[in-house]
Structure formats: structure tokens, C-alpha cells
Amino acid sequence: MDYFTAAQNRYTTKAYDTSRKIPQAQIDGLLEALRQSPSSVNSQPWHFIIASDDAGKARIAKAAQGPYGYNAPKIMDASHVIVFAAATDITAAHLEAVLQREDRDGRFRVAGAREGQDKARKSFIDLHRYEQKDLQHWMEKQVYLALGTVMAGAPTLGIDTTPMEGFDFRLLDAELGLREQGYTSVVLLSLGYHGEKDFNARLPKSRLPRADIMTFL
């Protein structure tokens, strides 16, 4: 399916077909697209946890209790679930790892490019850390860029998705030990194929018209 058709047809899935699993080759492709997601100054302040079996999904579903119980079936019945986590800080070690990766990938082709990239990235991060004082929020915005990357790619493969903020991030962070690793959960994404009980699959899609949401200069 081409991108434009996929964008028109995609919707948020409300119920999954438990008998269908996404082929491994397609999951591998989506995870590579996820790895290639853009982020401001190539900061990559994220970590992704993927669950594909009942045991792994059950651990994630522990965070969908009480007022979030409506999301538990979307987690358990899906083929795969991804936890999108943001860093709780951008450490010197992380920045050095990014810089070394860029160097190995051949991004510094002129003298001083490596040092210039390092200085510019740190300056931008310090802007958010000390002046804007919104570093955590800024890092979480990068995570949503990664979410959008997967959600845009999945329907081109005929894969349905459900993004979810309705979960207890404190419970999930504790269950997965994320805080100890320097991360915190931000959003979940279920992937799979919609089932017969998915009422949303039978409803027409609704969006505001272009004239209401776009201004051309």
C-alpha cells in the first residue's frame, strides 16, 4: 500500500485478532525504521521495549489497571506492543556514544566537523536544560517523532496500530526497571490486525477540512 492511501485508511484500532501475528520480517523492518527515526540534533534520547508473547505483554498490561483497564485488551490481544521511553537526562556518556557512532558512520568529512557537532549539540541541550528549563518535555517530544515514524510505516504494510497514553507510567517504570536505567515510559503502541469486534473499523474516518486547519502564505 502506498503512503498516501495508507494515511487515508489508517485509524486507531480498538480490538485485535488474537489469531494473527505480524511476520518477523515486517517487524524487523518496522524496528529498523524506528531506529532510523529523526530527533533534534540527532540526540536520540530514547529506549524502546518490545513485547511479542503473552508473558511480555502481561508485564506491560499491569500498567493498564483501574481507570486504564480499557486498554488492557488492546495490549494483550495485539501481536506486538512497543513501550516508548524517554531518557530522564542526557548524560555525557550518551552524548559521547552518539558522537562516536556518527564518526564511525562517516559523518565528519572535514577538519573540525566532529568538534563542531559536539559543541553545537551540547549547547542546544544546555539551552533546554538551563534556560528553557524544559529538557524532559523536549526529550519526550523526540520520542513522539519516533512514534510517528512507526505509525506512518505500519499501515503501508497492512498493519493496524493503537497509540496509548492511558496507562500508569509509574507502575510500568517500576515493572520494567526503567528509572534505574535512566528512562521513563511515555506512550505505548500496539500493533497487529483488527478483529471482528473492532467497531472503529466500520466507522467512517472524520477529520476537519483542509481549509479549517491550514493557512497558506
Task: Evaluate whether the domain defined by 3-91+135-212 bears CATH number 3.40.109.10.
Answer: yes
Mean pLDDT of the region 155-165 = 98
Which residues are the active-site residues?
14, 74, 165
Encode pLDDT of 16-71 as tens digits.
999 999 999 999 999 999 999 999 999 999 999 999 999 999 999 999 999 999 99
Which uninterrupted H or E stretch holds 138?
helix 135-153
Task: Outline where DSSP puts E strands in the chain.
Answer: 46-51, 80-87, 160-164, 183-192
Looking at residue 178, its pLDDT comes to 98
Q: How far apart are the first and last CA of the chain?
A: 32
Looking at residue 59, its pLDDT comes to 98
Sign of CA pseudo-dihedral 92, 187, 19, 160: negative
**DSSP 3-state of 47:** strand
Query: For the chain, what percent of residues have pLDDT higher than 70?
Result: 100
Whole-Å CA distances, 71 to 20, 136, 144, 155, 194: 19, 26, 19, 21, 15
List the domain boundaries for the chain. Answer: 3-91+135-212
Encode pLDDT of 90-144 as tens digits.
999 999 999 999 999 999 999 999 999 999 999 999 999 999 999 999 999 999 9
Looking at residue 122, its pLDDT comes to 98
Looking at residue 183, its pLDDT comes to 98
